[in-house]
Amino acid sequence: MRNPFVRQEFPERRQAMVDSQLAARGIRDPLVLDAMRVVPREAFVPEHLRESAYLDSPLPIGSGQTISQPHVVAFMIEALSLNGGEKVMEIGAGSGYAAAVLGQIAGEVYAIERIPELADRARETLRALSYDNVQIRHGDGTRGWPEQAPFDAIAVAAGARRVPEPLKQQLKEGGKLIIPVGRNAHFQQLKRITRVSQNDYAQEDLIPVRFVPLVGGNHR
């Protein structure tokens, strides 16, 4: 069956994106680079924006949300230090693009999106592209997905004022959580939190970023 999203020029644009926006700017993990070469970003943006799918910029996806620029997606996933086959949770699935990239590397991906229309659309797109190892749930991402915990890695694609405790608790020991943290949408620091033991966590500051706010019952 012909993939409805594929156009002949998009694979070439995708390769150029990986070369010029990712590899040339320091992304080195071959698993991440290979995944970004495969996942069709054009499938995860509105049809009228598909010509812009491989620009190095975020794009609107509806409901006041955006798909992150490719370099930020790659940077965050590389920072999780995945080896392949892991169990990963994503908070703020949006259109499902980052979940698909994670799905190329991880064994299982559990992604949560609070806006029902986006969750439904992401689920449909991922199903059409045969990402059977990615599940999308409509819900409050600040609560995580406790029945599937613990996770080897967690990625949060929304800016938090503080790190929600349930997300930390749903990490395996040795697992990594990537999350933007800041007082407002204009100043956030991407942080990597590693669970060292049951009650101890190590924290690193990575890069300054800008994400839409994280919204949920455990984040007021």
Active site residue 20: no
Q: In whole angstroms, what is the distance from residue 39 CA to residue 167 CA?
A: 27
For the purposes of burial, counting CB atoms within 10 Å of the CB of 24, is it exposed (0-12), middle (13-18) or buried (19 or more)?
exposed
Strands annotated E in 128-213: 134-138, 151-156, 171-184, 187-195, 201-209
The catalytically annotated residue of 52, 68, 81, 130 is: 68
The helices-and-strands tally (H runs, E runs) of the chain is 6, 9
Coil, strand or helix at 158:
coil
Active site residues: 68
